Amino acid sequence: TPTTPAPVPAAPTGSFITPGYSERITIPQPPVPSIIGSSDGDCPHDDDDLLDWHSDLSLTPSSNGQDVTLPTNTRVVVRAPVTRTIGTLNIPASSELILADANGGVQITMGGMIVEGKLSAGSETCLIDGPVVLTFTGTRPADAVSNPPDPSIKGIDVKGGTISLHGKRYYRTWTRLSQTVEAGGTVLMLQDAVNWDVGQELVLVTTAMKDARDWHQNEVLTIAEIVATSETGAAIRVSTPVQSRHVAIASYQAEVGLLTRSIKIQGAADSEPTDPDPGNCADSFLEWARYGDPSQPCMDKELTGYGAHVMVRNGGKGYVEGVEFFRVGQTNVLGRYPMHFHLLGDCDDCYLRASSIHRSYYRCVSIHATNKATVTENVAFDVSGYCYYLEDGIETENTLSFNLASYIHMIGPEIPHGFGQQTPIYEQSNTLTLPADVTASGFYITNIQNNVIGNTASGGWAGFAFPNLPTPVGVSRQVNVRPSSALPLTLDGNSAHSSGFWWFHTGGFYFGGALFYENGVFKYNPGRSFNFFEHNRETCAVSEDYCQPKNKLWVPLTNTKAYLNAGVGLNSWSGRMELRGFESHDNGLSVESLSDGFWIDNMLSACRSGEPIALPSAVSITRIAGDGFQFYDTDNAHILTDTTFRHCGYRSPEFDQYDQSPNRGCGDDAQTGCSSSSSVWSFLTHSDQFNPELMQGTRGIVMESVGKRYHLRNFNGDNEPATVSGRTQNWLDVDGSVSELYTPTLIASADPPAWWTVDDNVVQDPQGPLVFIKQNDGPERNLAHVHMEWDAALHNQVGGSICGNGNRASCPSVGLLRHRGPRFQDGMPLKPPGDVAGPAGGFGWYMSMQDGKSPVELTMSLIEVDPSTPLLFSIAYPPGTSVSVRYVASYCTPSSNWSCEEVFTSANSVLAVRQGEGNLFHYSASTGLLTIRIVMTAQSYTGRPDWELATWDTDGESWRGKALDRFDRGGVLLPKMAWGPYLVLSANCPSSDNVYCNQSINTNAVEAEVDNVCPAGMDQVSYDKCCGSSGCVFANGSQES
């Protein structure tokens, strides 16, 4: 009795995501090709001068394994399967082998191929339906890594010849879902129209947060039917139900990639590794670092894959499109990749496009010492090692565009992780040919002087890896370029997700790691390298050992998106960058950057989208942060403009001061929650040794439905004693959009209150806690930073026995910095590191040492203060002491045009010092109180030859640019300290240790003078203002209007 077939599901209806939709950025789309589908124009297999493999030449060997060589000066066409296995198929330089578009298809099985002439299937105007299948056989030699077989073994060795393969053009080769498909569903709604065929395989890429061999939600499905729809780009019914939920929401959508092509290059079944991952590995020690999940891929497994490969070398040409590469690549065998453009120099007509690479044991495509090639619109899935791969670091002007990489597997002894910012260092070995493969990612960009446009990566240690190479590597090692100093052509429209599960600091985009040689050994440091000279990303307009400020260049990334990365959306350990147009959704932390100039403009940081996040059952989502942005501890500069934070920060009654809505931030929900330590903004405050200068500025910030806003983060615990870095946190909120006072605001740590709470109008934030100082409440208010040294023996203990970097070492107070005036009897504890940041533009800072001591010599350096903001500084000496003050430039040779040292002259009042040019001092002989004005100076001169108070517009030396360094973007300017110059205060006093004067200061007399800042009849009301019945006067003498 015939059965009634089950009804075929109709295409779902409802709302759909439109092609390329993104809320904040523009995702570029691949161009429409001139030919879509197949075509028969100018087909080489239709030419008249061909000899037929079977009927004319009888080239099929009489037994399996025999070599075949085409006759010279012939063009041979294959129109039917070759029934025996060939050993090596040789195409002489004067000959061509053409694979026809025949009804029965063409299949050839062989051990290898040498192409010195030409291998053809179709042409750029003849895109063939096929099928054409080239299968390569052969087992892996035991010494394949140390003694790689000839490139003709189990592959196509294009040895000065041409490979020209042109399969049917499928467009799009990959797209995204336009509507979420639930587990059990059989219809995929696609954003774009496609011309895919029934029976083809596709990959439905994960939208889970983990994508690895031990746990993933990628699915390979077969097309059963193209379902009619007018509501979205296309509807595809698959032959088996979907096993997991794949998301399409406004924030992000799952990719769908076509795997099948009409031309196929594959390894035989003997290609599979003989050491498969048993899938039962765990690392309970690192469970804490992986959000509660001990499971991991079994490392040092899957090392014997031995698939097919294609190498184009010796000046050959590669024109490959519409080709499927399956069971390809030879693990750890140098140069044996699915598609390899090898040492071709400029090859502007070479390409791999509209193809697929899946089940690859080693990479996807390598561009190796080759320039101007194009790799575009390819689909890669299930790949060991880096996928899209710029090999040596000298590859430039290539285009990698609109490619998809998914399900990427690391190679090596372990998955790199670290405590803090560092990881173990890995060396080349027979089980790790490229040390960097321990962090295999979808894209490996060793030189950014290329076009990287519209690509997407899922899985891997990171999505996109940008390692620092101080020199090229491999066969290009002696080429005299520095890859990590290269400037980009275009980095635009790229996306990464489901990466960064293995370490808190890695994620979708990772500008970090260093690949280098040490004593001849090839090494890779995946974490942050502290060899700043060699392993830093230093982009400069000219080649020079030290990049002068006027020559500094920034790496621009535009229209970038990262989502579902447990670690970080984008991390840059070094290098000046401009991140213009960035979306972060459902990441642990949106951006992490350690840079002396990092600008983020037009960012959307949606820490939680509200979409349930798919994770292994052992993982708790509340162990994954939902942080917006973190400021770092020292020698950085961050500017954020026109940026929105949404659903960031932990939601609890403790943090409801700004928003009480029940859906603000993120909470403890099992699938959408976040860590209880999550915040919109956080500051690293664990260190006494490394402390902030004037490093952060913002404008145009919007916080939508957020929870905890501010967090002074000490990794030892929030209840730890205050540190120097915690006390000196500061922030320039130029329009008050962060404080929501909407007036220029100075934001700082609330501790110590006598230092930062400069008047009664300061707004106290209870969350950080922070203070918000209204900048326009005084005429000259701003921030300043100074580093001071006076006792070498004391300072040399910093970072060791005292004042450490988060090691809980004791950090004793040795004095006090306070504002002048009777209102401020307490202030900032003076600690051995000698770093201080604070409000400038007031009556001045007064520094006192414990026990009334005075330093014989006090040196100030790393000064940052706006030239328009007077920073007065006072210190007392024993009565009868004579003093001198001078500025000393660095890298300076005195001449008739330039001076290198400025000796200060005496002024008759503190007001004269304030209003002077920064080279005056006032010294009270009766009390011993010295007052100076601290100013920023040029690095390498003090005058030309006369002293000058430089402004932001002052020109410096022609080779340097402006006299004062700064980082300014988007209407925010941060002063940048100069390394080397210093200000020194010297006391001529008896001293038994040459460090401190023997006699103590006259504390009572000094304090009385320090506090004498207000005119008669007025009381001090702020650090820069006195008021009385007749009105108010500011520190600069101006009257309050």
Report, in this order, helix, strand and coil percent for the chain, each rounded to 5.
Answer: 5, 40, 55
Average pLDDT, the chain: 96
pLDDT tens per residue across span 62-74: 999 999 999 999 9
Q: Is residue 695's pLDDT more than 80?
A: yes
- pLDDT of res. 566: 97
Phi, psi of 726 (to 5 degrees): -70, -40
Eight-class DSSP state of 48: S
- pLDDT of res. 9: 60
Residue with tokens 């077989």: 149
Q: What is the mean pLDDT of residues 246-271?
A: 98
Q: Is residue 4's pLDDT more than 70?
A: no
Binned at pLDDT 50, 70 and 90, residue 718 comes out as: confident
- pLDDT of res. 171: 97
Among 305, 304, 285, CA closest to 293: 285
Q: What does the block give as tokens for 564?
A: 């579902």
Binned at pLDDT 50, 70 and 90, residue 134 comes out as: very high
Residue with tokens 């030892």: 716
β pairing state of 815-819 and 845-849: antiparallel
- pLDDT of res. 285: 81
Q: What is the mean pLDDT of residues 84-112?
A: 97
Can you tell me the distance from the alpha carbon of 807 to that of 816, in angstroms, rounded to the nearest whole number?
24
- pLDDT of res. 251: 97
Can you tell me the distance from the alpha carbon of 825 to that of 194, in angstroms, rounded to the nearest whole number?
74
Q: Is residue 863's pLDDT more than 60?
A: yes
Residue with tokens 């709604």: 189
Q: Could you please report the per-residue DSSP string of 269-300?
A: GGGS-SS---S--B-GGGGGGGTT--B---TT
% of the chain residues with pLDDT over 70: 99
Task: Kindly report which listed range (11-25, 40-54, 177-191, 211-225) carries the lowest average pLDDT score.
Answer: 11-25
Give the angle subtended at the CA of 56 by the CAs of 55 and 59, to the nearest 5°.
85
Can you tell me the distance from the alpha carbon of 80 to that of 86, in angstroms, rounded to the nearest whole number?
15
Q: What is the mean pLDDT of residues 627-653?
A: 96
- pLDDT of res. 633: 82
Q: Is the CB of residue 695 less than 8 Å from the CB of residue 636?
A: yes
Can you tell me the distance from the alpha carbon of 629 to that of 605, in angstroms, rounded to the nearest whole number?
9
The CB density around residue 327, as the number of other CB atoms within 10 Å, is: 23
Can you tell me the distance from the alpha carbon of 201 to that of 193, in angstroms, rounded to the nearest whole number?
17
Q: Is the CB of residue 928 less than 8 Å from the CB of residue 876?
A: yes
Measured in residues, the chain has a length of 1041
Residue with tokens 């029965």: 104
SS3 labels along 663-708: CCCECCCCCCCCCCCCCCEEEECCECCCCCCCCEEEEEEEEECCCC
Q: Is residue 14's pLDDT more than 80?
A: no
Q: Which residue has the higher pLDDT, 604 or 287?
A: 604
Q: What does the block give as tokens for 249?
A: 């929401």
Q: What does the block give as tokens for 73?
A: 């000066």
Give the angle subtended at the CA of 821 by the CAs of 818 and 827, to the nearest 5°.
20
Distance of CA 28 to the CA centre of its chain: 20
Binned at pLDDT 50, 70 and 90, residue 542 comes out as: confident
Among 892, 862, 836, 859, CA closest to 976: 862
Distance of CA 353 to the CA centre of its chain: 27
Per the DSSP assignment, residues forming a β-bridge with 864 are 785
pLDDT tens per residue across span 486-507: 988 999 999 999 999 999 999 9
pLDDT tens per residue across span 826-846: 999 999 999 999 999 999 999
- pLDDT of res. 10: 66
Task: Kindly report which listed range (158-167, 397-406, 958-967) carries the lowest average pLDDT score.
Answer: 958-967
- pLDDT of res. 532: 76
Q: Could you please report the per-residue DSSP string of 779-828?
A: TT-EEEEEEEE--HHHHTTBTTTBS-BSS-------EEEEESSTT-S--E
pLDDT tens per residue across span 742-754: 999 999 999 999 9
Can you tell me the distance from the alpha carbon of 353 to that of 374, in angstroms, rounded to the nearest whole number?
8
